[in-house]
Structure 1
Amino acid sequence: MSTPTSTSSQPAQPPSQTDVDAPADQVTNPRWSQRWHRWRPIVIVLALLLLPVLITLWMTRTTSSTLLAIDNPKGPGTMAVAELLRHEGISVSKAGSISEARVASRRGATIAVVNAHRLSSEDKQALAQAGGDIVIIGARGGSDALAGLTDMTSKGTAAPASTTLAPQCADADARAAQGLAGAHASVSLQGDDDAVGCFPVGDDRYAYATDPLPSGATLRVLPDPGPVTNAHLAQEGHAAMAVRALGHHDHVLWLDGQHLENPTVWNSPSTPPWLPVLIFQLMVIAGVLAIVQGRRFGRIVSEDLPAVVRSTETTLARGSLYRQGSDRPRAAEALRSGTALRLGTTLGLPLGTPRRDMVDAVARASGIDPATVDSLLYGPPPTNDRALAALAVQLDQLESEVHSA
């Protein structure tokens, strides 16, 4: 008996380390495309949130050329004095409206007003009663820049720049400045017993003055704005005068009466400054989502109408709708307006011709009594189908009479 022979086979090879690690690599280290697919929504949202901020920062102007503006680095600007105040720890910002200035004044800010003659007396009275100090920068002679704030008046008396004006008063700010290089404007204290004048340029004419406000705060007037401008800030004691006059409180709000914005919800003090940017971001996100969702429906494909619908068919269909709805007044109105339009075109009458002129013109052209024409075109609506049909026939006959005339 023969012994069955077994087929020899190679012993099973143990799995290599590479084969063992391959599945683990696929699980723990996904491909770059898989990672991008997972993080793509977050990256897109962050980009959409960052883009409006970058656009806003890019479009925001850091300087201007406005006279006496705190962001104007040129000679007639006041950026230098603003930087000096900030160096002393005083914040300086621009006011967009009177209401914003009043709110800041009630909180103890100093309101620096330029072009005060462009403000109304009511606005200046409101600022005077708000509670904060006010500094008037520039009050040319003959203007009403001080009306509503003080009984002092602005004058045109001036002293040349080669003249050094001495304080000659007990005011601490003026004494710290020691001198001004002339003045192109002045104020008169006549009629105001509480005011204090410094740097006299003539008889009852001063280049700087102070006066108490009704709220208990202090009004300071620098009628010539030159000492606070970039071009003249380094002369004599101009820098000391400007910083001392404006720096009595921790915040200075610069109010330009010539460049006030119309009060809206966007420049209201109660509106957060980031709200417009947030709304713009939401609009951008909504637009992107609309585009993404719209692409799911595929491209817009133009398609020809399957059939041409004749105008008579639409007219009959509309009439059928009127009949089913028993809307006789609207059907009669459609008949009368169509007849009146065609008659007006035939008779050369413009659109919107008054009722009396239309009736007279149709009556003359057709020879029909005006009362009958008025009843046909403007009479009461029919009450039944027979009356509606009779009205249609009569209107058709009226048109025929006019065309045959």
Structure 2
Amino acid sequence: MTNTAEVRQSKAKSIAGWVLVVILVLLVAFVAIRVSASSPNERGVLDPESRSDTGALALAEILRDQGVEVSISRSRAEARAELDADTTLVMTNPYTLTDDALATLIEPAERVVFLTTSTHLLSALKIGENAPGTLFDATANCDVAEFAQVGSIRADRLFLPADGVQACFGTPAGSAVLLDEGASPRRAVVEGSRLLSNAYLAENGNAALGLALLAQTDRVVWYVPSLDDSDIEGETVDTLGTLTPPWITPAILLLMVAGVAAALWRGQRFGPLVAETLPVTVRASETMHGRARLTAKAGDASHAAQALRDGTQRRLARKLGLAAHADADEVADAAADRLRIPRGTLQTLLAGPLPSDDAELVTLARQLDELEDAVNASTHSQRED
């Protein structure tokens, strides 16, 4: 009864384990499908309501602490309605808007600050172009009053200014900030995805740079571009779901089902493992006699002779105090010294040509036996002396 209960308990645990595995696989598949079919996360880089490392909630709170009213809008129509002549419009690269929609949006603002940009946006604003390289410990190096107390920053992206555009925080080869004070509205461009994010705002003069750019008016309207607020018609903004071929999802599900089926098939057990002892114990002597009979039946005199030599060589090496791996020449020399016969006398016996027939094999065996007896006798005589 106890064994039956244990078996049932073991089966129940196994079934529960497999059910858990299937649930986890289905959960992973569900999450993968949802992720592949969803659009990019709206709470992305420099989102003023995001607490993630790439968000900009810390900068928005600093602005509020300085008495600046920060209004966050995710609709370009609402953002434009809030703008007036004493308002700074802040946004990241508006990749979801056409050039006409962007021009309409920024028209009522006093100042516009782009916290990230693209090559197309630089061209549309006619403010400059990209420059290669990065700068460490870049200071203002320009006659702009709000940047006087910023200190140094690390510029990860540089720009070359267009004619009439003020460049700050850089060198003639490239600057981190571009200011177009002659345009209406006034415009500023900076690559702030690293400088002004939550993770890096406290480094160097990053926070001071954010205040210098955004706190020049009493109100800030922070517009967050999104795919839902796009005015681009005639083409759909590609997502991971739309770029994925239609056969990918069924193939992934089929592979998962096949994997679960294979796991169930290979994981089946036909009962507990049973330890069994070997039915026969073979003695070493029987194995030796068996090999000897096979050698005799094959008529392999040379192989048998080599086996006799190896055995004699090992036994002599032990009796003569040599290493177990001593070669035939060393054993022959040591035996000759022990027997007080000229060196080289025993090399032919222990390492010479092997016999080719049974008669020579018998002669070799007798000579080896005699050699061992002689060494044994000399050893006993030395001990008695």
Q: Which has the larger radius of gyration?
A: 2
| Structure 2 length-normalised TM | 0.46
